[in-house]
Amino acid sequence: MSDLHRRSFMTALAAVGGALPLAARARAVPQKDAATIVSTWDFGAAANAVAFARLKAGGSLLDAVEAGAMVPEADPTNHSVGLGGYPDRDGHVTLDAVIMDDAGGVGAVAALEDTVHAISVARRVMEKTPHTFLVGEGATRFARDQGFPQQSLLTPDAEKAWRDWLKTADYRPEANIENRRPLGDARDHDTIGILARNAGGRLAGACTTSGMAFKMRGRVGDSPQVGSGLFVERGVGGATSTGVGEEVTRIAGTARVVASMRAGRSPQAACEEVVRHIAQLRGDAIRGMQVGFLAIDPAGRVGAFCLLPGFTYAVTDAAGRTVVHPAASLFKS
């Protein structure tokens, strides 16, 4: 981090809990109509389109979020989800995913290998097992036994990036993990979290990722963990997260966002509260790291907030119109 970045971070940090700096002021989500589908990052727009079509075709909310999450999972150019994800430091691509409805349905997998559609395996865990969460070899075997096609998820591009990384093997879980591009560069495509809502205010969500690039083998992030990467509660709202998973997991981030909504805050205010909590709790330790939350309530109000500029999210309304918004951030850099 440059001195300039450091100064701006310190100034913003000093303001946490007090008057917020200019950059931190919540920008109202320019939304005339209630949202039907929201998802993280600009590539969420393509996921929303597929999820929306599934809803229109009579699919359930779970069908919609699963179908949406499958879009980046199948995209080999997206290096943080599914096929083409960057591997762990030993060269294995391992996937984490969770799917959840607002009636207590939950399925998750972590450290899944050789199956592109981790979200579908997560759904199968929910629907075909007495469990909510399978990990590692057991998850991989379950996917195979369920008939999911098996293939290597390591693409030539991702393997090259890993081999380049091995030259220094310097692990820095910063917002821009490759540390080569400006923060917020459109190519910094991360984990997808997607939330869907129907006219009756019922909710479901999904979150899927290959996790932090070059992580330790066996590392599991926030994404597949209920209450960290995703949380949905009937009559209250849903939330999903992206960014450095450890910073979300240590405070059960999305469970907190939803708890804040339960206490009466809007989705926007709830996301802001939890981002500020992370900054307050972690201080200097989260310098340069990104964490973003995205939330929706049963009325279709949307909120998003993050630590650093660069987090975007896609909102689709009941007519199928999608707009990608930049989230307001606590820090300027």
Distance CA 285, CA 51 (A): 37
Where do we find the tokens 């007519």? 319
Binding map of ligand SD4 across residues 308-327, x = CB under 6 A, - = no contact: --------------------
DSSP H helices in the chain: 3-15, 44-56, 61-73, 118-128, 136-145, 156-166, 245-249, 253-262, 267-282
Q: Which residues contact 268 (CB under 8 A, 6 or more apart)?
A: 26, 28, 29, 295, 301, 302, 303, 304, 305
N residues, the chain: 333
Buried b (16+ CB within 10 A) or exposed e, 123-133: bbbbeeeeebb
Q: Nearest approach, Cβ of 263 to ligand SD4 (angstroms)?
A: 25
Q: Is 88 one of the binding residues for ligand SD4 (CB under 6 A)?
A: no
31 and 302 Cβ atoms separated by less than 8 Å: yes
Among 73, 101, 102, 222, binds ligand SD4 (CB under 6 A): 222
Distance CA 229, CA 9 (A): 25
Among 47, 126, 212, 289, binds ligand SD4 (CB under 6 A): 212
Distance CA 295, CA 283 (A): 24
Among 237, 243, 298, 300, binds ligand SD4 (CB under 6 A): 243
Binding map of ligand SD4 across residues 188-207, x = CB under 6 A, - = no contact: --xx----------------
**How many residues of this chain bind ligand SD4 (CB under 6 A)?**
13
Task: Give the residue with the Cβ less far from ligand SD4, 78 or 191.
Answer: 191
Distance CA 143, CA 32 (A): 42
Task: Give the residue with the Cβ less far from ligand SD4, 55 or 195.
Answer: 195
Among 72, 85, 211, 310, binds ligand SD4 (CB under 6 A): 211
316 counts as catalytic? no
Please choose, out of 135-143, 239-247, 259-267, 275-283, the segment that lies near ligand SD4 by the rule CB under 6 A: 239-247
Among 48, 223, 316, 333, binds ligand SD4 (CB under 6 A): 223
Q: Nearest approach, Cβ of 224 to ligand SD4 (angstroms)?
A: 9
Distance CA 80, CA 9 (A): 26
As annotated, the active-site residues are: 191
Q: Which residues bind ligand SD4 (CB under 6 A)?
A: 80, 190-191, 209, 211-212, 221-223, 242-245
